A and B are shown apart, each in its own frame.
Chain A
């Protein structure tokens, strides 16, 4: 159980910091979400889709050579094998089914790298709902392939030219759409961020990762792992992996943020490491901002981690010491991606590569008989142009 003293709060973090116009919609969502507890018909409908459409449960693969390299046993939770290639679809299916149930007739979403946008466009097609995706103009250019995929799936993609033209600005624009079309529109947030109940709801839809991993590791090893590792941008795959282990006090949590060009350079996305407590996009949490409270631009080679905020529950876990947050640079992530490809024959997403790059530290912490589960949150196909460019290769 998480320590949630106030409604929608994780300690001092979380809350509902949105415009009054949106509050009734947020409260309507809160009530609809609460009504799902113990709703077997909903759970069944979602489970069938997770099994038959996404391909769950995802595998828990023993990474032999990686294990040998670090002198511990390392298992990979294979979210990269899901339909659409990442963990994002778990949450999108849950929320889109809820939107239908609430009688909403239109989905909107923000996306950075395009993975959440693609997953939202996918479930919108599956459930026959019109879908509008907001994406920073700069990301539209960097991720042309994902833009094409979303359009192929029938979604409308709107480039956002405001501000820094990246994920945070896409989120602002989605909020503007929502406030304008609040009566019929469902805002499908892709991470454990935003106003309550999103952080809790997205975590619970992603908790399928941790629930499966817990069962699978007990079957394979007969014991719980010593440590869990996942990358943290907004933090949804990490929250999904960690939360089912929250009461297992001997299982250590490691979240890995993007250090970009290095946390000392100012060009990074290490919100928990270098940020301060603030309010952004509906919740109180750590944010990257100036002394005057202006949100600063995040930087990471991985567009999915390129966000100046973080889910409020991670802020709570950081301050309470339940989880430890590390950070890894662009260069370290690239090296880890290459190493995994050669050791295990798996090309992972650049986001995931940050978690892999922290294995050395985690392995040292757990010691030689240690058992580690790492969330392999997504596959790397989308990042091949970026990786090639970083290696100086022209494709």
Chain B
């Protein structure tokens, strides 16, 4: 698996005439052993790409739903090492669904960039998204990742200037994650209006597929965004389902149900 294969996967989905569905899961929530079955349930239900959130003690870009998931995960023994193991176990089950590790920089930095890149590649991680590493600081991370074939996923926001948008192209991103609004994860969806034009402009400047996320919770939201985005990201809505489920089996069933609904709503064309 690699950044290149993730990009190829998104290209083939685009050829099918539909947007990709990217789902988010916090590793270790509700338990470390639940993560691999949850990954499998998401893949079986039709998730095209999975973002695996690495729990962090200070998730300053996340809303309350993912903050609480990360706290549960840390209490349960989750973290970077457990995340890499979950991916490895998922691959051992035969799944090739692309995985993007999604997290904050400190655990990765403390692990050592070269060591992390090597371990992530061995585990079967395709790409990395670090919320608190903007393009200005990405070089130190990009080099070791690239050497091990791991792609990067830069973030862009409504506040990003034209220069900043153009800047991310040099990282040959697997895809670009466009944060649809100023805010934290899980905030209220502000509608798809105005998004199409902005996404079109960003796609042109970065030359990469554009995933749109933040606030997208329902099949209806996903359908609206899928009209113009190459991929749609759903996170907090799935994490909330895990929090509300009474057991690990119920959590798997519940996230699978929402994933199928989202995929069906996004349909073709």
Residues of A with Cβ closer than 8 Å to B?
A: 15-25, 162-163, 168-169, 171-172, 175-176, 179-183, 276-282, 284, 287, 289, 291-296
Q: Give the CA-CA distance A182 to B182 in the complex, in Å.
A: 7
25 chain-A/chain-B pairs, Cβ below 8 angstroms? A16-B136, A16-B137, A17-B105, A19-B61, A19-B155, A19-B157, A20-B135, A20-B160, A21-B157, A23-B159, A24-B159, A24-B161, A162-B71, A163-B58, A169-B58, A172-B58, A176-B61, A179-B61, A180-B183, A183-B159, A279-B106, A279-B132, A280-B58, A292-B79, A293-B80
Interface residues of B in 55-108 (CB under 8 A from A): 56-61, 63-64, 67, 71, 74, 79-81, 105-108
For chain B, which range describes its interface: under 10, 10 to 19, 20 to 34, or 35 or more residues?
35 or more
Q: Which residues of the other chain, A, contact B71 by a CB distance below 8 angstroms?
A: 162-163
B136 CB → nearest A CB, Å: 6
Contact A295:B182 (CB < 8 A) given known A23-B136, A279-B105, A289-B106: no
- Assuming the contacts A176-B184, A182-B182, asked whether A21 and B158 have C-beta atoms less than 8 A apart, the reply is yes
Whether B110 sits at the interface, judged by CB under 8 Å, is yes
- Asked if B189 CB lies within 8 Å of chain A CBs, one says no
Partner among A179, A289, A296 whose Cβ is within 8 Å of the Cβ of B182: A179
Report the separation of the CA atoms of residues A21 and B110 in the bound assembly, to the nearest whole angstrom: 25
Question: Distance (Å) between the CB of A113 and the closest chain B CB?
Answer: 20
The reply to whether B60 and A293 form a contact with Cβ atoms under 8 Å apart is: no
Residues of A within 8 A of B81 (CB): 292
What is the CA–CA distance of A175 and B183 in the complex, to the nearest angstrom? 10
Q: What chain A residues lie within 8 Å of B106 (beta carbons)?
A: 278-280, 287, 289, 293-295
Q: How far is the CA of A183 from the CA of B160 in the complex (A)?
A: 12
Asked if A278 and B80 sit within 8 Å, CB to CB, the answer is no
A289, B179: Cα distance in complex, Å: 29
Query: How far in angstroms is the closest Cβ of chain B from A289?
Result: 6
> Which of B111, B135, B179, B187 is the one whose CB lies under 8 Å from A293?
B111
Set of chain A residues within 8 Å of B80, measured between Cβ atoms: 292-293
Q: How far is the CA of A293 from the CA of B82 in the complex (A)?
A: 13
- Name the residue of chain B whose CB is nearest to the CB of A162: B67
Instruction: State whether A18 and B110 are in contact (beta carbons under 8 Å apart), knowing that A182-B182, A295-B58 are contacts in the complex.
Output: no
The answer to whether B157 touches A176 (Cβ under 8 A) is no
Q: B137 to A17, Cβ gap below 8 A?
A: yes
Q: How far is the CB of B229 from chain A (nearest CB, A)?
A: 17
Inside 8 A of B110's CB, which chain A residues have their CB? 276, 278, 289, 291-293
A180, A282, A289, A292: residue with the most chain B Cβ atoms closer than 10 Å: A292
Compute the total of residue contacts between A and B using a CB distance below 8 Å: 124
Measured CB to CB, the nearest residue on chain A to B107 is A293
Q: Does B205 contact A (CB under 8 A)?
A: no
Q: Which residues of B contact A292 (CB under 8 A)?
A: 79-81, 107, 110-111
Establish whether residues A180 and B161, one from each chain, have CB atoms under 8 Å apart when the complex forms.
no
Q: CB distance B134 to A18 under 8 Å?
A: yes
Question: Are A163 and B57 touching (Cβ within 8 A)?
Answer: yes
Contacts A163-B71, A176-B60, A279-B109; is A20 near B183 (CB within 8 Å)?
A: no
- The distance in angstroms between the C-alpha atoms of A278 and B183, with both chains bound, is 25
Please provide the chain B residues from 98 to 151 with a CB less than 8 Å away from any CB of chain A in the complex.
105-111, 131-137
Bound Cα distance from A352 to B5, whole angstroms: 57
The 8 Å CB contact of A179, one of B56, B136, B137, B183, is B183
* Smallest beta-carbon distance B267→chain A, Å: 30
Q: How many whole Å from A112's CB to the nearest CB in chain B?
A: 15
A296–B74 Cα gap in the complex (Å)?
A: 12
